[in-house]
Amino acid sequence: MNAQLLIQTHFADGITRLGKTYFTPPFKVANITENKQSTWLQLMIMNSSPGILEGDEYEIRIDLDKGSRLHLHSQSYQRLFQMKKGASQHLEIRLADNCSFTYIPHPCVPHEHSAFKSTNKIYLSANCNLIWGEVLTCGRKLNGEVFRFSSYHTITEVYKEDKIILKENLLMQPSMVDPNRIGQLEGFTHQASFIYFPAENLRAEDIDQIHEWLMNQNDIEFGITQVAGNGMMVRMLGHGAELLYHNLFTLAKMVQESTIVKSVKPEYAG
């Protein structure tokens, strides 16, 4: 199935509102903003399909008007069903000046023999704030489908004023490269990434606070990298999706409370 989704925001009088939106089945968009006078717009991408199926091709475009603040939510875990040829998704996000965007979707669960490729391109203009997170599981662990998927490939690129400043290229092919080997996951079954680009300068004390908090979390391994373009990336390994998903939201709250947007903190739904 070929499906398209377009979201455009409109910012006026200090309030972010949903502007133009267009979607084809199985997509829908729900406005879950409780406070209609809030600076932040809260949207949920809904999908009537049980998951991504053989041959699915998703095209998603999100454009933020100057000054907009959007917190995007997913509806549930993203399941990748058994496939022969595979499926794909392309997501493009463009932030105009002085925008803030947060998106931490539910974890992805690749079923046995699934093959999926995803590309994410994020374009930042001046004075933008970006929070982005992803969680990849080993599959249906309780069903014995640990690393039984064929291929999972996701590429995330972040551009600042049209110059690339970050590229994450994750490719897993368990039948070709054992995820448990040295240099891979080494016994862990779940992984997460957290990308943060603040509108202001990234402060060393913010990185230290995040490092200290992560050090006190059980059953994870992590690494923090300061990247070009005034950004930061955190990688986490663990044994459960909910734990890593919770950690991503905690990190999002921590960085929001320490940046220029603290006066208009997003209302974290759920």
Please, which pLDDT band fits residue 270 given cuts at 50, 70 and 90? very low
Tokens (6 digits) for 94: 């463009």
Residue 204 pLDDT? 87
Q: What is the pLDDT of residues 238-257, one digit of tens each?
A: 999 999 999 999 999 999 87
For Cα atoms 151, 160, 4, give the angle at the middle one, nearest 5 degrees. 50
For residue 243, the SS3 value is helix
Give percent of the chain with pLDDT exceeding 70.
95
Of the ranges 5-9, 62-66, 93-97, 142-146, which one carries the lowest mean pLDDT score?
A: 142-146
What's the whole-number mean pLDDT along residues 169-192?
Answer: 94
What's the whole-number mean pLDDT along residues 123-142?
Answer: 95
Residue 266 pLDDT? 44
Q: What is the pLDDT of residues 135-170, one digit of tens each?
A: 999 999 988 899 999 999 999 999 998 899 999 999
Average pLDDT, the chain: 92
Query: Which of 161, 171, 166 lies closest to 232 in space, CA to CA?
Result: 166
Sign of the torsion formed by the C-alpha atoms of 244, 249, 254 and 258: positive
Check pLDDT > 90 for residue 121: yes
Query: Which of 189, 190, 188, 184 lies closest to 171 in space, CA to CA?
Result: 184
Kindly state the DSSP code that residue 261 receives in the 8-state scheme.
Answer: G
Helix (H) or strand (E) holding 89: strand 87-95
Query: Which of 11, 4, 64, 54 lies closest to 29 in space, CA to CA?
Result: 4
Give percent of the chain with pLDDT exceeding 90.
85
Check pLDDT > 60 for residue 264: no
CB count, 10 Å around CB of 159?
17
The alpha carbon of 238 is separated from its chain's Cα centroid by a whole number of angstroms, namely 17
Check pLDDT > 60 for residue 265: no
- Please confirm whether the linkage preceding 105 is cis (ω < 30° from 0): no
The alpha carbon of 258 is separated from its chain's Cα centroid by a whole number of angstroms, namely 20
Residues in the chain: 270
Model pTM score = 0.93
Q: Rounded to a whole number, what is the distance in angstroms from the first to the last CA of the chain?
A: 30
